[in-house]
Amino acid sequence: MTNLELSRAAHESALIAGNGRLDFPVETDPKPIGALLRPALRPALCVVEALAFPLALFGLWTLSSRLGWLPVQILPTPEQVAATLADLAGSGDLWFHTSISLLRVVQGFALGGTAGLLLGIAMGLSPRVRRTVEPLFTALAQVPPLGWIPVLMLLVGIDEGLKLLIIAKAALVPVALNTQKGIRNVPDSLREVGAVLAFGRWATLTRIVLPAAVPSVFTGVRYGLTSAWLALVAVELLASSEGLGYLMVWGRQLFQLDMVIAAMLVVGLVGFALDWTLSRVERRLQRWELAGS
């Protein structure tokens, strides 16, 4: 009985538009010709746009060091920083400190991200959990990582435990808040579909609520990673004998601002790389969203 419609399907499949969108012919607005050109040019344009600001900043830096706008002790020249980076890389110090910082972030983020996810799900699903936990959670979330250090120092000392907790807390807050938001913002229209299809609680959670919350959760995860990374540097600045944050302290205490800037560059690059990796994962998980655009 389905043979009747095969011709229609064949007809439609012949009309897959060049931009990847499958369209029923009578329902589309005609695409401007420019739209056909853009996919080819877009990556190049993106790179140019993304590099414009850093390049301008670098130019300003070079200019400043040439013209002596700032004392070279405060803002070292790009050459000095490059030499310091090469020096740090050559001696193995750079990798040593970077790997320690990365390990801390990964561990702290895994801890805080998982806790944040669970807490966010609980707050998103249960009004009771939300009522009991949210006020305190919101209040505590306002306290910046450094504010926690004295209290946590008393509880866990100043070793790795402190660093992990600070990083975990920094990651937990955005993950929990965004997860909660994502879950609470699942459209009623989709929940109703689940109800009509006789979904139970579990099916509703796994088939509707969680998938619908994924974009929001990912926003939280990316924020969480960023704030974990920031917290790491803050906590390493305070009490540490290794890591990129420590490298900055060391550089500053010994008045080697080139080392501070070198460490800043590495921190920025690693942070960017982490965020970029997450965005790739996000795109894979949400390929359905991009499929049409």
List contacts with another protein (CB under 8 A): 1-2, 4-6, 8-10, 12-13, 20-24, 26-28, 71-74, 150, 153-154, 157-158, 189-190, 192-193, 195-200, 203, 207-208, 211-212, 214, 238-241, 246, 249-250, 252-256, 286-289, 291-293
Complex with another protein: residue 73 or 185, whichever CB lies closer: 73
- What's the min distance (Å) between Cβ of 129 and another protein? 26
d(CA 41, CA 145): 43
Q: Is the dihedral of CA 183, 187, 192, 197 positive or negative?
A: negative
Q: Which residues pair with 22 in a beta bridge?
A: 16
Complex with another protein: residue 91 or 277, whichever CB lies closer: 91
Burial class (CB in 10 A: 0-12, 13-18, 19+), 166: buried
Complex with another protein: residue 5 or 132, whichever CB lies closer: 5
- What's the min distance (Å) between Cβ of 230 and another protein? 19
- What's the min distance (Å) between Cβ of 195 and another protein? 5
Give buried/exposed letters for 5-41 (b at 16+ CB in 10 A, else e): eeeeeeeeeeeeeeeeeeeeeeeeeeeeeeeeeeeee
Complex with another protein: residue 197 or 273, whichever CB lies closer: 197
- What's the min distance (Å) between Cβ of 169 and another protein? 19
Complex with another protein: residue 100 or 238, whichever CB lies closer: 238
d(CA 255, CA 62): 20
Residue 263, C-beta contacts closer than 8 angstroms, at least 6 positions apart: 97, 244, 245, 247, 248, 251
- What's the min distance (Å) between Cβ of 261 and another protein? 14
Six-digit token string for 170 = 């920094």
